[in-house]
Amino acid sequence: MDIKQITSPLQYDIIKELAVGDMVSISGRIVTGRDQIHKYLASGNPSPVDLAGLVIYHCGPVVIKEKGQWKITAAGPTTSVREEPYQAQIISKLRPGAIMGKGGMGEKTKKAMSECGCVYLHATGGAAQYLAECIVKVEGVYLEQFGQPESMWVLTIKDLPALVTMDAQGNSLHDDILNDSSKRLEELFSQPFKKSGK
């Protein structure tokens, strides 16, 4: 499988070429944001960082301070769908280039992604060490009042692997898997359990 190299902030012509199923390797500047940040931004508060074209990473990292420097010791994605009530608004107002997390997102986000030119990047949940090694620098931290996992961390990353699972054309791998597994579930329901096992 070919891997597409992309850089955050993302240009619009790159975003619109990305399609569901593309493996990407991301480098550049990204920001983290999870529950508190999303609620904060969707409530109309200004973003401390210009988010245009950037990757917003749904991630609550483990961070320690070593010799006065921030060090990320673990940084995998968190479940994105919790941000569904806020994400569409943030996409249309602040125009990030991509949302990265795990588990995919819902209809409202999908619509905003088509309208504004944004994609969803699926990172591997739980692979916190592999992904932390892709973070080459902590540029800064904002909104620290939300606690360490919930602050907005500005990071420089190199070659972070992800899969495009929602694109700017309105496609979603998550919808496809849900529909397919739903059919399979119906089939399995028609095979009643026998105590002897199968």
Partner 1 sequence: MYDLIRKTSTVLPEDVTLAIKKAIAREEKSSVAKQTLDIILKSIVLSSKNGLPICQDTGTVLVMIEGRPDKSIFHLEKSIKDAIRKLTKEGILRQNCVCSLTEKNTLDNTGMYVPQIHFEPSNGPTRISIMLKGGGSENMSTQYSLPNAKIQAGRDMEGVRRCLLDAVFQAQGKGCAPGILGVCIGGDRASGYLIAKKQLFRKLDDKNPLPVLAALEKTVLKQANELNVGPMGLGGKTTLLGVKIGHAGRHPACYFVTVSYSCWATRRYAVELNQKGEIRKWI
Give the residue numbers annotated as catalytic, written as ranges.
Answer: 38
Rounded to the nearest whole angstrom, what is the least distance from the CB of residue 52 to partner 1 in the complex? Answer: 27
Minimum CB separation of residue 132 from partner 1 in Å reads 8
- Is residue 26 close enough to count as binding partner 1 by CB under 8 A? no
With binding defined as CB under 8 A, does residue 138 bind partner 1? no
Residue 104 engages partner 1 in binding (rule: CB under 8 A): yes
Report the DSSP beta bridge partners of residue 152: 142
Q: What is the DSSP letter of 47?
A: P
**The tokens 């090694």 sit on which residue?**
133
140 belongs to the binding site for partner 1 (CB under 8 A):
no
Q: Does 172 bind partner 1 (CB under 8 A)?
A: no
* 146 phi and psi angles, rounded to 5 deg: -85, 0
Which of 11, 19, 23, 45 is the binder for partner 1 (CB under 8 A)? 23
Residue with smaller CB distance to partner 1, 5 or 13: 5
Stretch that binds partner 1, among 41-49, 69-77, 88-96, 135-143 (CB under 8 A): 69-77
Q: Is 150 helix (H, G, I), strand (E, B) or coil?
A: helix
154's CB contacts (< 8 A; 6+ apart) are 29, 30, 31, 49, 138, 139, 140, 141, 142
Which 3 state secondary structure label does DSSP give 1? coil
Q: Which is nearer to partner 1, 52 or 177 (CB)?
A: 177
Rounded least distance, CB 160 to partner 1, Å? 11
Report the C-alpha gap between 69 and 54 in whole angstroms: 24
Token code pair at residue 60: 């609550």
The span of 42-50, 86-94, 109-117, 119-127 binding partner 1 (CB under 8 A) equals 119-127
Exposed / middle / buried, residue 166 (Cβ in 10 Å: 0-12, 13-18, 19+): buried
Q: Residue 198 is encoded by which pair of tokens?
A: 């199968």
Distance in Å, CB of 39 to partner 1, minimum: 10
Number of neighbours of residue 123 by Cβ within 10 angstroms:
25
Per the CB < 8 A criterion, the answer to whether 103 and 159 are in contact is: no
User: Which residues contact partner 1 (rule: CB under 8 A)?
Assistant: 1, 21, 23, 59-64, 71, 73-76, 78-79, 81, 102-104, 122, 124-133, 146-150, 161, 163, 165, 173-174, 177-178, 180-182, 184-185, 188-189, 191-198
